[in-house]
A and B are shown apart, each in its own frame.
Chain A
Amino acid sequence: MIAIRAAALAVAAALFPLHAAAAAEQVNVYTYRETKLVQPLFDAFTKDSGIAVNVISASSGLEQRIKAEGAGSPADVLLTVDIGRIDDAVAAGVSQPIKSEVIDEIVPPQYRDPNGHWAGISMRARVIYASKDRVKQQAITYEELADPKWKGKICIRSGQHIYNNALFAAYTARHGEEKAEQWLRGLKANLAQKPSGGDRETARDVAAGKCDLGIGNTYYWALMMNGDPDKKPWAEATRVILPTFEGGGTHVNLSGVLLAKHAPNKANALKLIEWLAGDKAQQIYADANYEYPIRPGVALNPTIAGYGRLTADPMPIAKIAAQRKTASTLVDKVGFDN
């Protein structure tokens, strides 16, 4: 143990003297959003507030880590990119209510937890990337994706991925488990290939002619179009259709923020959360991350505005979250990913 402790001290001394001592005012953020995308946001926050932001980013398991770390966890704020992770975090008991009049005023009630455990800070929609050459249709419903006329023409990532899980859960919440299962079987039968890759690869496969319709999130298409010359052709070969549920709207998902239960820098965490809902941050979200702002009055990025007018489906987030387990089990049951 002596050796371990000596080693730990040596490591701590060698690696992190700065983080421990330098900034008296700091806030620790655990984020699912990729560091490169959130860093501009945090830099702007530090400039505005003088509060340093420490970050750990991962694509899975952050709420489990906070849970394991327990009362000593350094986590102040958890940033998620979908309602599934929000739900997981609340279920894991790692959050506490955000008591903020600013948030209550800015964030519309349908995009925050009635008990205050989370608040949405931006939105994305799960949409269709359609081949410009091979798809003439201008509008489409989610229900229609199971129509045999699309047999062998659809590409999608794993059915267990959180983005699809939320979409399938929304379908289940709207139509019930039995119809959702039928729909999933129909969708599975229409797939051109085994679900794989991510939303960017889905666009690429449409561009390459493997399929005619891809299912992906709104911001990926904009990132490919504007951010990366290598991937621009993938976006250029496709066009975004905002699908709707029959008699409803487009499925949207939330980027949310939670206040950690044992947040050691709670005051700073609240400042950050309120700042993220503010005008400046919302504009950065819209322009750098191609998200839909959570509040009215913030201009959409032109690429996003070019998709057409978004009518978000009115299904309450909590009802969607309640169907996540069912949706996940259905995916296994119909062998969606096999």
Chain B
Amino acid sequence: MRTSSGRSRIGRIALVIALFTALLVATPVLGIALTALQPAPEVWPHLVAYVLPRALADTALLLIGVGATALLLGAGAAWLISAHDFAGRAWLLWLMPLPLAIPTYLSAYVYVDLFEPLGLAHHALAALLPQADAVQLLPNLRSLPGAVLVIGLVLYPYVYLSARSVLQAQTAELSEAARTLGAGRWTILCRVTLPTARPALAVGVALVALETLNDIGASEYLGVRTMTVAIFDTWLNRGSLAGAAQLALVALGMVALLIAMERIGRRNVSVEFSAEAPRLRPRTPLKGGRAALAFAACLLPPLLGFVLPACYLLALSLRRGAIAGVDLALWRDALHSVTLALLATLLALLLGLIVVLAQRWRSGAAASAAVAVAQTGYALPGLVLALGLLTPLLWFDNALIALAAALGAPSPGLLLIGSGGAVVAAYVIRFLAVPTGLLKAGLARIPKDYDDTARAAGASRLTALWRIDLPLLRPALTGAAIVVFVDCLKELPATLLLRPLNVDTLATSIYQYASRGSFEDGALAALIIVAASIPPVIWLTRFSDRAV
């Protein structure tokens, strides 16, 4: 319902930017598709004979294993904590989500270090047994089961958070009705609680699976040959960009399958919560042994997923600091991390805001499509994203060089690839879903009447935005900023492939230390990443509680 031409001009600009943003997010997939069109006959016989079968099997097993581990730990803890009252529960509320502060690759480095021969676990065992016997008892974490455990322990909070938001909201009526029909506690759990929680569990497990597919650091280090590792290898060690792009298409197929499964998981459930002030289900109090058991069961995942790795990193940093001093390069890496993350955060917030505003101001198929596309970047594994961005960005850079040459100007060099612009672009594409999603939800809570009233009083669109919408959106903006910033700080694969000369970030320097067999030299950098990630995790927890 357009009323004035002034209204549509700013709206039109917003729409154009929104469409460009959507195009940017779609660029890597287009880039992959184009690159994959080139034939790669020299690598396919090898890929088919040795690489692909193993990659598909390992990826499937890893996804199933990590998904099941996260589901068991996350949903189990969420149920214990939401439906029961026991001593220490208040502590657990804070502890449970903290493993999200540990990137998967760090979890892998720490656990391998702990359980390696002559490591801490070995020394502990050697107190009881001869050293040579003790070494035989150490679990081999460089294996598929090792990877399942190490990754599952830090990703379960995705399931936990989404499950808890639903379990908390289940009203008393539902379970009371079941009870009056003679259902016992287990029947209620299996027939009422779990089915109504299914959509939330599906969302949580899907996030876990996407993060697992995104991982390269942990799987590579633990010797699990996933699709992501195979893509990396085919491109960088076998020298076939086209072959890698073709494998990436297979990986994208897996992503599509995962998202379809998540949709199916959410289907056929319509939960009607009563409209007037819902009476939350009273929590069952637990006492004595049962309370202790519940507490211990909930404590174990965050203990292994966060407390132990964080403490180990702290101890290792102190020890290395005492031995080798603090490497000055660390501060340079930290500065690079912060600068890149900051720029990407600002840009992602700005573009996310424009995309959702375009939809609000100019409802229509184009604007809705832009919002939908803008949120797809998160599903792209970072390595695939970098691979897909490379060709289009280089095309852009080389076009600029040609343009400069035609104009007789000095060559700008590779502008985006050479400057870190490529890294920022990758971050924005991958994490734009966060501000877009949060701002969309935030904006939906602001009645359009507010805008209309302000406009009737003579305020321009921008004034209304500045004076009314933005202040109301502040919590969403803050939250999005924190989450994007830290996700950028942790990002590994895209940064590794797209960083320019003289630039290492905290994440890439840790990766390089680890891949050269001296992870302990990166312990302090790792500790900084973990410490910086704690506030956003706490914010996320509070946000997901409030959203209920």
Contact = CB atoms under 8 A, between A and B. Distances in A.
Interface stretch (B63-71, B93-101, B495-503): B495-503
A196 B142 CA distance: 7
A233 interface: yes
Contacts of A3: 17, 20-21, 24, 347, 350-351
A237 B26 CA distance: 55
9 contacts: A11-B420, A58-B512, A64-B239, A69-B417, A88-B239, A201-B116, A201-B517, A209-B132, A230-B323
Contacts of B414: 69, 72-74
B397 interface: yes
A71 B425 contact: no
Interface residues of B, number: 67
A64 B420 contact: no
B135 interface: yes
Nearest to A220: B517
Interface string A283-313: 0000000000000000000000000000000
A63 B421 contact: no
Contact of B241 (A64, A200, A204): A64
Given A1-B20, A61-B235, A55 B501 contact: yes
Interface of A: 1-4, 7-8, 10-12, 14-16, 19, 28, 34-36, 54-61, 63-65, 67-74, 88, 91-92, 158, 160, 193-194, 196-201, 204-205, 207-210, 228-230, 233-234, 264, 329, 332, 337
Contacts of B223: 158, 194, 196, 337
Contacts of B512: 34-35, 57-59
A199 B518 CA distance: 11
A71 B402 CA distance: 11
Contacts of B118: 204, 207-208, 233-234
Contacts, number: 164
B237 A11 contact: no
A61 B236 contact: yes
B517 A55 contact: no
* 9 pairs of A and B residues whose beta carbons are closest in the complex: A61-B236, A208-B117, A8-B421, A198-B517, A209-B132, A12-B419, A332-B50, A60-B236, A200-B517
Interface string B118-143: 10001000000001100100001011
A2 B16 CA distance: 11
Interface string B54-85: 00000000000000000000000000000000
B394 A11 contact: no
B2 interface: no
Most chain A CB within 10 A, of B223, B235, B516, is at B516
Contacts of B135: 208-210
Q: Which of B142, B241, B351, B502 has the most CB of A within 10 A?
A: B502
Residue among A28, A64, A160 facing the most chain B CB atoms (10 A cut-off): A64
Contacts of A61: 235-237, 497
Contacts of A72: 394, 397-398, 401, 411, 413-414
B421 A11 contact: yes
Given A56-B503, A92-B239, A205-B117, 7 more contacts: A2-B17, A7-B347, A12-B415, A56-B501, A57-B512, A64-B241, A68-B390
Contacts of B517: 197-201
A243 to B, nearest CB: 22
A233 B340 CA distance: 41
